[in-house]
Amino acid sequence: MAHVLTFFLVAHQLIFLSNPAAILAAESANGSEIDRQALLSFRQGITSDPLGVLSSWGNNSLYCSWRGVVCGNSPPFRVVSLQLNSLQLAGELSPSLANLTSVTRLDLGNNLFSGGIPKELGNSMSLSYVNLANNSLTGVIPHSLASSSSLSKLILSHNNLTGAIPTTLFTNSSRLTTVDLQRNSLACFIPPFDKVTSLKYLCVTENFFSGSIPPSIGNVSSLLFMLLGQNILTGSIPESLRHFSKLLELDLSFNSLSGHVRLPLYNMSSLRYFSLGSNGLVGQLPSDIGYSLPNLQVLIMQSNNLVGLIPPSLENASNLQVLDLSNNSLHGRVPSLGSLAKLHQVLLGMNQLEAYHWQFLASLINCTQLTKLSLEGNMLNGSLPRSIGNLSTSLEYLFLGSNRISGSIPVEINNLVNLTALSMENNLLSGSIPTTMGNLQSLFILNLSKNKLSGHIPSSIGNISQLGKLFLDDNDLSGNIPSSLGQCSMILQLNLSSNSLGGLLPNELFAGPPLPLGVDLSFNHLTGEIPDPIGPMATTVLINISNNLISGSIRPALGVLQFIQYLDLSWNDLSGNVPEFLETFTLLQKLDLSYNNFDGPIPTGRLFQNSTVVILDGNKGLCSRSPTPLALSICDVATESKNHGVALLPLIVIPSVTIALILLLWFVVTLWKKRVFEFPRWEDILRIIRSVVQTKRREVQAFPCSNNETLKKVSYGDILKATNCFSTVHTISSTRTGSVYVGRFKYDRSLVAIKVFNLNEPGAYKSYFIECEVLRSTRHRNLMRPVTLCSTLDTENHEFKALIFKFMVNGSLERWLHCEYYSGMPERVLSLGQRICIAADVASALDYVHNQVTPPLVHCDLKPSNILLDIDMTARLGDFGSAKFLFPGLIVPKSLAEVGGTIGYMAPEYGMGSEITTGGDVYSFGVLLLEMITGKQPTDDFFIDGLNLHNFTDSMFPDRLAEIVDPQMVREESQPCTEVWLQSYIAPLVALGLSCSMESPSDRPGMRDVCAKLSAIKESFLKSDAEILNSH
């Protein structure tokens, strides 16, 4: 029987082998099954498919019909292309993709893929097109992929890739045409180029490449685009680049390149985009640049060390759209550029250019597409020609400040109806402000300060509905302050100081806009009393009406200014007592009431024990009930008797009110006994209370990211209007995944911060949904919470997502600790008490998310810029875009970029591939605490050769603490107590910061213990502070 079976099997094989059609059919079926299994394995790696893209991918259907799968036109029907671009897919890339051996095109860009690039992809012999851009991929570029002989286009931009470019990528690559690696974290050197014959597009911008540009790149004569900007490249520009005969775009900006730009580089006639800005280049622009670069559209050479003239030959660069030569040392005349009809931007600020009768300005009339003209910080002189009003109506930004411009402001300037910012400060302008200025309805910034303007302030300025900042200080303006300025509901800051303005303070100005950034009316001739209706200005941080003729007393209406930081009423004719409510202004950094006619005893609270904050000189009638640092005389009996009548007032009023209440109660009881009415039953009262409590409970639980019905509806159009079409002047901050704008909706007078997510960037979707989930799952006074949200489509039907928060008037903690880095910011210093309270607030927030949220939540990016200060200086922790819930089985991050933190604040164990834990936040908090005490950033240039903030502080602790304390800190204690306070409060804070920032996670305390210790330090500080004040 066995022999018979063997015979049949052998016969069957012989028949099969003798039939070629059967063999091909079997191979085809086998290949098809491999492709099917590879696709199904890829699908298993997908963790999120919100659009249901892969719902058609089933075991029983033909895979050639699955969405995104493209098969060949003839049998065997193998997969030749996988196209799943921009479909919001999330997960990790499966190595099984390499089993699609016939695939030539792999396009998975613009999704949410994470993890590494499978090294197996490089084994494919047919793969020519790879697009994995705009994801969250980590790890290195596989050597096998870089060595692929079939590869033609490699697009890996906008990810979190690290490491170096494999040297094999640019070696013997005869087919390679495109390499796009921009916006990653790639480092080391750019490898040399050897026998790269077809490369046309090379982009490695926004990485961390160092060293010099390899001269061998000049041998790649096929290059059309060479983009190496925003790296750390050094050395000179290789002369070999002159071999590029077809190059269209060259970007070497924002590096550290030095030396001269070789003349042959200016002879690449094919160039359209030429950017060498923000380097250390020297020399002059060649005189014939306009002829040698006839196709040039963009020329950017700003922030170098260029000298000489601007070549007049630029007039012949007829395709030029952007010219940026700002911040150099160029001199001479500005060439006439009127022949450049396509010109959009002319940026020539911060040079030594001269006007020469403004001929260049008249020529710009022909540039009808001009949107930005920047000439500030030059040596322009003479009068502005009337032809300035004939410039393009598309002009949005006109910067002429810090020159020597004289004469009057041409009335024709009102023709520039789309101006957003007009800056003409620090010149010699004279005459009056044109009344037609009110026609500039799009204006957000108007700066005419530090000139010689005279006449009245036009009331028409009050008609500029978008006006946000108005600076008319240091002129010779006269007349009254127009009441129409109160109609500017968007205005944030007003400065009319150092003029000759007279008349009364307009009630409309103080009853209208909130002016959160302050109002300065000092050094004028204003009269009358301080207006009463000051309520809308309750959020302002600065009021200065010093050096005027203001009379009367300080009205009780000023008591609403609970968030004021600078209040200067000095050198006026104010009288009466210094009111007690000033004691409630806990945020005051300066209170100047000097040189008035105040009399009587001053308040005795803590504020008036600090001579660095309170100035009362020149008020002969003031006295103090006890010795104070303000050097006032002790009040005598006669002075105190003035207040005797006030002291008796409660003795008269309280008994009278008590008698009236007793009579009223007797009257009600009498009516009840006569059954005129009935009191409600106790059960009814309980029912009402229970109903109210349940209603309140429902209100508390309502949250923006989960229950839109409880929120004000905000449309894309509302946000567009509130931000003036996302104007840069409304921008508070920007990151890769989004921007934050300040604005105000028409239906609300309160300012809001609008966080708009850039959904084209990898990680933006993830940040938005994480922030929503965090905010939905948490509720704490020290966490930022949204007012509402907007999830819709924009005008181009692209998805739009934004979160709207309450505007934090006091900004970020970073702006307080390091205000020297923020131009235009007043010097603001945090006292020791404020720093302790802020640290306690942040610790409380972290203790909550670590120990009271299930599962625990790790912020992952704790730093001063993510700590915002409310109007009462309460700290609120924000920006949870990198946060992670500690779910069971949380994937260990494969790179620092995947953690999402910031260098200097990130826990060291994350750099060694450790899992994310709450201990990482504890480390960041320790660094933050040391920064708040020392005033030094962890990335300070001071920290080199292995020295960091922790080691530096530890080496000075505890004996030399006084040497490392932030010298700018305002100490609230009196000088004899300095050493005591240093040991009682600063030493424990430093010790706590050191323990939290220990290198080993096991050596760090938990946030519950940290919060408890900080609460004790805060309580002890406030108690001791109160005792010292009471002793005075």
Token pair of 790 as six digits: 């907007």
CATH at 924: 1.10.510.10
Tell me the pLDDT band of 656, cut-offs 50, 70 and 90.
low
pLDDT at 503 over 50: yes
- 590: helix, coil or strand? strand
Token pair of 244 as six digits: 């590029």
Is residue 108 a part of any domain in this protein?
yes
Q: Are 775 and 807 in contact (CB under 8 A)?
A: no
Residues 755 and 903 in one domain: no
Give 433: exposed, middle or buried? Use CB within 10 Å, 0-12, 13-18, 19+.
Answer: buried
Q: Alpha-carbon Rg of the chain, whole angstroms?
A: 35
Residues 962 and 1002 in one domain: yes
Q: CA-CA distances (angstroms) from residue 48 to 89, 496, 597, 852?
A: 6, 57, 72, 28
What length does the chain have? 1032
- 155: helix, coil or strand? strand
Residues 864 and 744 in one domain: no
Query: pLDDT by residue (tens digit) across 64-91?
Result: 989 999 998 877 789 999 999 999 999 9
**Nearest CA among 530, 496, 533, 499 for reference residue 513:** 533
Residues 871 and 956 in one domain: yes
pLDDT at 483 over 60: yes
Average pLDDT over residues 604-623: 87
Percent of the chain with pLDDT over 90: 50
Residues 845 and 981 in one domain: yes
Residues 863 and 919 in one domain: yes
> Given its phi and psi angles, is residue 490 left (phi above 0), alpha (psi -120 to 50 degrees) or beta?
alpha
Report the C-alpha gap between 158 and 897 in whole angstroms.
Answer: 12
- 384: helix, coil or strand? coil
Q: Is 473 a catalytic residue?
A: no
Is residue 962 a part of any domain in this protein?
yes
**Nearest CA among 331, 328, 329 for reference residue 302:** 328
pLDDT at 16 over 60: no
Helix axes 918-934, 832-851, angle to 10 degrees: 180
Average pLDDT over residues 235-240: 92
CATH at 717: 3.30.200.20
Is residue 85 a part of any domain in this protein?
yes
pLDDT at 660 over 70: no
Query: pLDDT by residue (tens digit) across 428-443?
Result: 999 999 999 989 999 9
CATH at 91: 3.80.10.10
Query: pLDDT by residue (tens digit) across 692-704?
Result: 333 332 222 223 3
Tell me the pLDDT band of 1029, cut-offs 50, 70 and 90.
low
Token pair of 663 as six digits: 């009579």
HEC-encoded secondary structure of 853-873:
CCCCEECCCCCHHHEEECCCC
Percent of the chain with pLDDT over 70: 85
Q: How is residue 639 annotated by DSSP?
A: H
Residues 815 and 803 in one domain: no
Report the C-alpha gap between 558 and 560 in whole angstroms.
Answer: 5
Most confidently predicted of 295-299, 696-700, 722-726: 295-299
Last residue of a domain, one of 807, 834, 861: 807
pLDDT at 896 over 60: no
Q: CA-CA distances (angstroms) from residue 132 to 48, 206, 547?
A: 17, 17, 64
Report the C-alpha gap between 905 and 925 in whole angstroms.
Answer: 8
pLDDT at 313 over 70: yes
Tell me the pLDDT band of 107, cut-offs 50, 70 and 90.
very high
Q: Are 472 and 496 in contact (CB under 8 A)?
A: yes
Q: CA-CA distances (angstroms) from residue 161 to 116, 204, 885?
A: 8, 12, 24
- 720: helix, coil or strand? helix
Is residue 462 a part of any domain in this protein?
no
Residues 803 and 828 in one domain: no
pLDDT at 676 over 50: no
Average pLDDT over residues 152-162: 93
HEC-encoded secondary structure of 323-374:
EECCCCEEEEECCCCCCCCCCCEEECCCCEEECCCCHHHHHHHHCCCCCEEE
Tell me the pLDDT band of 637, cut-offs 50, 70 and 90.
low
Is residue 442 a part of any domain in this protein?
no
Is residue 269 a part of any domain in this protein?
no
Tell me the pLDDT band of 300, cut-offs 50, 70 and 90.
very high
What integer best gives the mean pLDDT of the chain?
84
pLDDT at 681 over 70: no
pLDDT at 7 over 70: no
- pLDDT confidence of residue 379: 93
Is residue 403 a part of any domain in this protein?
no
Is residue 578 a part of any domain in this protein?
no
Residues 732 and 798 in one domain: yes
Least confident among 22-26, 449-453, 491-495: 22-26
Least confident among 540-554, 610-624, 960-974: 960-974
- Report the helix count and the strand count for the chain, using DSSP H and E: 20, 56
Query: In this structure, how many other beta carbons lie within 10 angstroms of the beta carbon of residue 568?
Result: 20
Residues 868 and 990 in one domain: yes
Last residue of a domain, one of 62, 95, 125: 125
Tell me the pLDDT band of 670, cut-offs 50, 70 and 90.
low
> Which residues constitute the domain of residue 789?
694-807
Query: pLDDT by residue (tens digit) across 242-267?
Result: 888 899 999 999 999 999 998 888 99
Give the active site residue among 251, 568, 861, 870. Answer: 861
Average pLDDT over residues 146-156: 93
Query: pLDDT by residue (tens digit) across 782-791?
Result: 998 788 888 8
- pLDDT confidence of residue 156: 96
Last residue of a domain, one of 763, 787, 807: 807
Report the domain count for the chain: 3
Average pLDDT over residues 14-39: 57
pLDDT at 390 over 90: yes
Residues 1024 and 981 in one domain: yes
Report the C-alpha gap between 528 and 106 in whole angstroms.
Answer: 76
Residues 803 and 815 in one domain: no
